[in-house]
Structure 1
Amino acid sequence: MGKSSPLCEQQSKLGGPGPAIRPLSRRYARGVFVLAFALALTDFIDRQMIVSTFPFLKEEWGVSDTQLGALVSVVSITVAVGALPIAHLADRWSRAKSIAVMGSVWSVAAMACAAAGNYGQLVAARAAIGVGEAGYGPAGGALLAGMFPQRLRATVAGAFQAAGPLGAVFGIVLGGLMVDRLGWRITLAFFSAPGLLLALLFLRVRDHRATGSAGVGAAEPSRRPGGVGELLRARTAVAAYLGGAMQLVVLSTLYTWLPSFLTRSYGYTDAKAGAVAAVFIVASALGTVVLGYLADRAGAVRARNKLVVPAVLALVALTLLTAGFAWAPTGPVQLCLIIAGTFTVTAAIGPVPAVVMDVVEPGIRATALGMVTLVQNLFGLAVGPVLTGWLSDAYGLPTALALMPLFCAGAAAALWCASRTYERELRTDADHGAAPVHAH
């Protein structure tokens, strides 16, 4: 995936024992990004395809809607539980090899879903998919962070995270097309083989790390006993965790309830509601990339702007979504407001993990992203759908959807607080001897 040029041996001597880090070519770094993105895409396709099989599972096994919902929830639970310990293991071992293992785990688990003989076996296989994703997201993000310069990290993180909503779109659309023709078992197993192949390719990826010291050399995995404690000592990181989670409360609400809103308020068929909801998901994916890039550009002018931009955009999303659900009548204007709000509410997805990696020791970056994953799943993705359902039972779905964007105000406050300490706690690549990306 591209050639690289060696650093002079003198740098290795200045940095202490160990081989010198070779700077990466842009081609190599971009090639690894494409590989990581493609693997993440298969993960979310495997994760979301289960929704298309619900009618078939209900008919064949007689399961309840609650049991069907548990097939989705169990993935988020295992992601949250496994994120921090598995990410810590990746920091101590090898991020690239960890990705290969985790990708293999969820690909084999997807095959196991297709072979499940009863509901309990299917739940267990779905839980294993979550275990694989728990390790992959943090390790993949940390690996990419070491391959791209600091000024591009929010852009890269946002683009990497965009695999989630795009995979969800493909999972829902392709699942709906395949399940009628191929059956639910083949549908669930269809992307497991490509996922396994992509995972094994990571065995050939070089894992570049910073030393965590002034020297330049191939870094040893972090073994500092206080490493995990640093994740909570950095005030910027703690505020960013909370801000990002509150944004995801709103985003997960939209992903879960927009199809129901469209069927109830617009009289759409399930198929049409799913197709229109896919447009909203694509808008969120675009927002993740575009707004992450905007935050990076603003951060190049002044570092704290990397957090100020998503804080301001959180308030914009609050305005757009509240106007769309509370005041606009059903019709094109309302749909446009909701699409714009769905685009804008993703502004923190890229900057939050990028900023967290900027304020912790490079040797525990995967662990830091594990903490991001834990907080975002437990206090973001798991909260939105359930709380919205409760509000919908009490006040109706339109009212519930109008109230949920209030979490954007909390996100804006948390991100603003993080911006006030970010510049003081910022660790630059130069401070840690990170492997540079070669200019040509």
Structure 2
Amino acid sequence: MDAHQYTNHASSVDTSVHVPRRYAWVIFALTFGLLISDYMSRQVLNAVFPLIKNEWTLSDSQLGLLSGIVAIMVGILTLPLSLLADRFGRVKSLAIMAVLWSLATLGCALAQNYQEMFIARFMVGVGEAAYGSVGIAVVVAVFPREMRATLASAFMAGGVFGSFLGMALGGVMAEHFGWRWAFGGMALFGLVLAFLYPIVVKEKKIAPHREVTKIQKKSVQAKSPLRTIYSSHSVIATYIGSGLQLFVGGTIIVWMPSYLNRYYGMTTDSAGVVAAVIVLCGAVGTIFCGMLCDRLGRERPDRKVSLAIVYCLVSCVLLVIAFAMPAGKAQLLMICVGMLVALGTNGPSSAMVANLTHNSVHGTAFATLTLANNFLGLALGPLVIGRVSDVIGLQQAFQFMPLVSVAAAAVFLYAKYHYHQDMARLDGQIAAEEKLLNQDQMQQQCVEDKI
């Protein structure tokens, strides 16, 4: 099978044909809005780090744990909760998740000490656990397959936009009204969207309209589509490479307000706004990197892997230079440039996972990707850098942090080596399923003709 044939890969069944395009964009907008709420609730904490640190006399390790516990719970629960969502209905599940994380964020506003804040943040993580994987599965299902990397990048950029708004608005609200109001504002926004979502988005309108015969079910069970989420070298490498690269981007998102507060002497609101602008650069870069991935990978899907490697190495060079520079406008500009590329692997990684796994288990496959992103990146990054910061200082910890991108690039290189072979194997599996299905349909037609 040549490279061009991979563009029509059987695993990439187009499930969007029955969904009107205008309605698909409405679904995207609401799902995107809830993802923004998700990350606003998660990242508002970073904007108020200095206030909570002083009020409760906390170490950087304790602050890192308050941030990391959300990602840890997401990593632990994303897979089982995604499986439940696929079974009981994605729309209903997404709405319930949003209500839970919003109420937990309200609990953060009411916390009176570190222990209560930790419990509330724990529950935020439980509520957010499967949202990213289930939400992106909904988005992928209602749009054509050739838009996957672009839409995945745009959708995942919602997390960065949410981080931007959470830190910017949270910092301003905390400075003028107190840090508790910052959490309360994020909670209210999430509850409003959670109420609207199931009213507008209907499960029956977005579910794929396919007739599954008995023999197709037997074939699917025999081939076990669930195995495709871990049965190939390249898909496992994609999970790991994506998580390692998010170690870098996630760490910058979490610790940048504190960095600006300590080394630039900025107030909480100023540090939140500047950090939010840096995060916004990451969101913009994520979208453009995903668009470039779709454009260059239209005829050669393996270019997605090559671009992921390039994004890792370029971001490493830019951020190493940035954190070696003295504090000032030039350093902030270089950090922004580095963030334009640092989160660029989100789109290629999501598209690769979609291409390498059976379409019937995409929700679970994205849950596995989310698990890796949270354990290796969003949880491990802030925790490790917080611990290192307690020993050598945040400035020095940031200077070593970008080197993790080199490890991510090496893992993506391993994925590239196996990519074509693994896609061909999955293509053969699904082709066999379709052959059995066609045979069964022909037999049924013959029976009906005789009758």
TM-score, structure 1 normalization: 0.82
2:187 equivalent in structure 1: 192
- Shift of residue 52 of structure 1? 4.5
Paired residue type of 1:249: F
Aligned partners of 1:422 and 1:396: how far apart in 2?
41
Give 1:88's aligned amino acid.
L
Partner of 2:443: none
Shift of residue 176 of structure 1? 2.4
Q: Residue 45 of structure 1 corresponds to which residue in structure 2?
A: 40
Q: Percent identity?
A: 36
Which residue in 2 is equivalent to 1:348? 345
Distance in 1, matches of 2:387 and 2:140, equals: 39
Aligned-pair CA distance for 1:381: 1.6
Counting matched residue pairs gives 408
Aligned residue in 1 for 2:416: 419
Alignment match, 1:175: 170
| Compared CA separation, residues 190 and 272, structure 1 to 2 (3 A) | closer
| 1:64 counterpart SS class | coil
C-alpha deviation, 1:265, in angstroms: 4.6
Partner of 1:369: 366
| Correspondence 1:83 to 2:108 | no
Select 2:313's aligned residue among 309, 312, 315. 315
Deviation larger for 69-78 or 143-152? 69-78
1:64 is aligned, of 58, 79, 96, to: 58
Amino acid at match of 1:252: G
Q: What is the aligned partner in structure 1 of residue 384 from structure 2?
A: 387
Counterpart for residue 403 of structure 2:
406
The whole-number CA distance in structure 1 between the counterparts of 2:275 and 2:188 is 28
TM-fit CA distance, 1:249:
1.0
Q: Distance in 1 between matches of 2:210 and 2:239?
A: 25
**Pairwise CA distance, 1:125:** 2.5
Q: 1:381 is aligned with what amino acid?
A: L
In structure 2, what is the Cα distance between the partners aligned to 1:21 and 1:250? 34
**Range moving further from structure 2, 387-396 or 285-294:** 387-396
Kept in 2, the 8 Å contact 1:211–1:363? The answer is no
- In structure 2, do the counterparts of structure 1 residues 175 and 420 end up closer, same or farther at CA, with 3 Å as the change threshold? same
User: Structure 2: which 5+ residue stretches go unaligned?
Assistant: 1-14, 435-451
* Deviating more after overlay: 330-339 vs 369-378: 330-339
Segment of structure 1 superposing worse, 194-203 or 401-410: 194-203
Task: Give the secondary-structure state (helix, strand or coil) at the position aligned to 2:405.
Answer: helix
Letter of the structure 1 residue corresponding to residue 385 of structure 2: T
Cα 1:234/1:91, change in 2 over 3 Å? farther
Please state if 1:129 is matched with 2:87: no
**1:127 Cα shift?**
1.5
Equivalent AA in structure 2 for residue 356 of structure 1: V
Give the Cα separation in 2 of the matches to 1:264 and 1:103.
Answer: 34
Report the CA distance between 1:42 and its aligned residue: 1.2
For 1:178 and 1:41, locate their aligned partners in 2 and report how far apart those are by CA, in whole Å.
18
Task: Tell me which moved more, 168-177 or 285-294.
Answer: 168-177
Q: Tell me the equivalent position of 1:9.
A: none
Aligned partners of 2:167 and 2:273 also within 8 Å? no
What SS does the corresponding residue of 1:301 show, helix, strand or coil? coil
Q: Give the RMSD, CA atoms, in angstroms.
A: 3.2
Q: Distance in 2 between matches of 1:275 and 1:21?
A: 39
Question: Which amino acid is the alignment partner of residue 64 of structure 1?
Answer: L
Determine which structure has the larger helix proportion and give its number: 2
Shift of residue 163 of structure 1? 1.5
Q: Deviations over 1:155-213 (max 9, x none)?
A: 11111111112212211221222235444444322233432332243333333248697
Query: How big is the shift at 1:289?
Result: 0.7
Aligned pairs (5 A) from 1:5-16: none
1:67-115 superposed Cα distances (whole Å, 9 cap, x missing partner) = 5543322211211111111011122232222212211221222233334
Matched, 1:324 2:322: yes
* Alignment of 1:96 onto 2:94: no
SS at the partner of 2:130? helix
- Specify every segment of 5 or more residues in structure 1 that has no aligned partner in the other structure, as ranges: 1-19, 434-440
Q: Counterparts of 1:77 and 1:225 in 2: how far apart (Å)?
A: 32
Q: Contact between 2:49 and 2:258, CA under 8 Å: does it hold in 1? A: no
Structure 1 residue 281 corresponds to structure 2 residue 276: no
